[in-house]
Amino acid sequence: MAVWNVAMDTALELAEHAARDGDVPVGAVVLDPAGRVLATAHNRCEVDNDPTAHAEMLAIRAAAAAVGSGRLEGCTLVVTLEPCTMCAGAIVLARLERVVLGAWDPKAGACGSVRDVVRDSRLNHRAEVVGGVEEERSARLLRDFFAARR
């Protein structure tokens, strides 16, 4: 589990970068089956004027490019906030083995809180979900970001 904590530290640093750019502070890291970093990303929706530029989507795209395949079997996505429905769909399509998340999203989460897209038995792939890794740090970053905007 130590490799997940190191990757979560990286994801949190990326989330801080997103916040400095005015984007919701979410960072993501994709690890290969051996635990090596394949790709990193942070939210860029505001910077890119792209509602699909979530950290998870960008990291999954970069990881797929790095391995030369849209199938990321055996790989792990480490992300600071529970993925939304769009990102959960991409996780299933990419066949990621596991999602390690920081804070749960009680409004839009799709990995177990509001919905559970990634473990839906009706789909052709299911991912393991490990929640609450550096949960308080992830949640605090989000709370501080939104408090400053209110």
Instruction: Give the residue numbers annotated as catalytic, written as ranges.
Output: 56
The pLDDT, as a whole number, for residue 2 is 74
Kindly report the CA angle at 39 between 74 and 2, in degrees rounded to 5? Answer: 65
pLDDT at 149 over 90: no
The CA dihedral of 32, 37, 39, 44, to the nearest 10 degrees, is: 130
54 is in an annotated binding site: yes
45 is in an annotated binding site: no
> Mean pLDDT, to the nearest integer, of 18-33?
97
125 is in an annotated binding site: no
What pLDDT digit, counting tens, does each position of 53-102 carry?
A: 999 999 999 999 999 999 999 999 999 999 999 999 999 999 999 999 99
> Mean pLDDT, to the nearest integer, of 20-34?
97
Q: Is 12 in a helix, a strand, or coil?
A: helix
Instruction: Look up the pTM and report it.
Output: 0.96
